[in-house]
Amino acid sequence: MSIASQNHIKAQNQNLQENEPNKTNDLADDISNDELKRYEELCRMAFDFARNDEVSELSAMLEHGLNVNLQNQKGDSLLMLATYNGSFECAKLLVKFGAMVDLKNDRGQTPLAGVCFKGNMQMVKLLVESGANIDENNGLGATPYTFAVMFGHKEIAKYLLENSKKKSLMKRISVGILSFFRRK
């Protein structure tokens, strides 16, 4: 059973326990191997839909109960895959359905850090306007702002600095240095 399947079943079990505390049924006991394989296939399809900006297909899955925060074996959420791959319409859809904008993958990266690495300003704005934490640390001291500066995305770095709650002197200096080197 994949990690994504296990996580989804655990979430369903938790919801079941919260809504029906006297029922001790484990959903995994009620699922056949064929049903599990079909579920895993549907999860793979959802990840592909998110990557490829196939909005109507992903929307139908979400409307029928797919977990908006579904994660693959690497911990990448549907939103992480949509934003990283530039699937703007799917990213908007996932945010509308309540996707957690700061949900980290197994490497401690958020969707915002990924798009700051890629340099997609439209996606950065969507995530920030949807509440993404500009100053979220990946556990190693790097933030989305760090990635924007490190990979030379001056406009994104300036935007993040303008919208950050932590406007340190070091951040202001790094944008200035980046601007200086980008002129040449």
Report whether 144 contacts 134 (CB < 8 A): yes
Asked whether the CA dihedral 91, 98, 138, 48 is positive or negative, the reply is negative
For CATH 1.25.40.20, the residue range(s) in the chain are 1-100, 105-184
**What is the band of 165 on the pLDDT scale with cuts at 50, 70, 90?**
confident
Q: Which of 26-40, 53-67, 163-177 is predicted with the least confidence, judged by mean pLDDT?
A: 163-177
Average pLDDT rounded to a whole number, residues 13-24: 50
Q: What is the pLDDT of residues 58-88, one digit of tens each?
A: 999 999 999 999 999 999 999 999 999 999 9
The answer to which of 16-25, 78-87, 132-141, 168-177 has the lowest mean pLDDT is 16-25
Residue 182: predicted pLDDT: 53
**Using 50, 70 and 90 to split pLDDT, how confident is the model at 121?**
very high
Judged on CB neighbours under 10 Å (0-12, 13-18, 19+), 103 is middle
pTM assigned to the model:
0.77
- Homologous superfamily in CATH for domain 1-100: Ankyrin repeat-containing domain (1.25.40.20)
- Which has the minimum average pLDDT: 68-82, 95-109, 115-129, 170-184? 170-184
Q: How confident is the model at residue 11 (pLDDT cuts 50, 70, 90)?
A: low
Q: Are 46 and 78 in contact (CB under 8 A)?
A: yes
pLDDT-derived band of residue 172, with 50, 70 and 90 as boundaries?
low
Q: Phi and psi (nearest 5°) for 71?
A: -125, 145
What CATH number matches the domain at 105-184, 3.40.470.10, 1.10.275.10, 1.10.3720.10, 1.25.40.20?
1.25.40.20
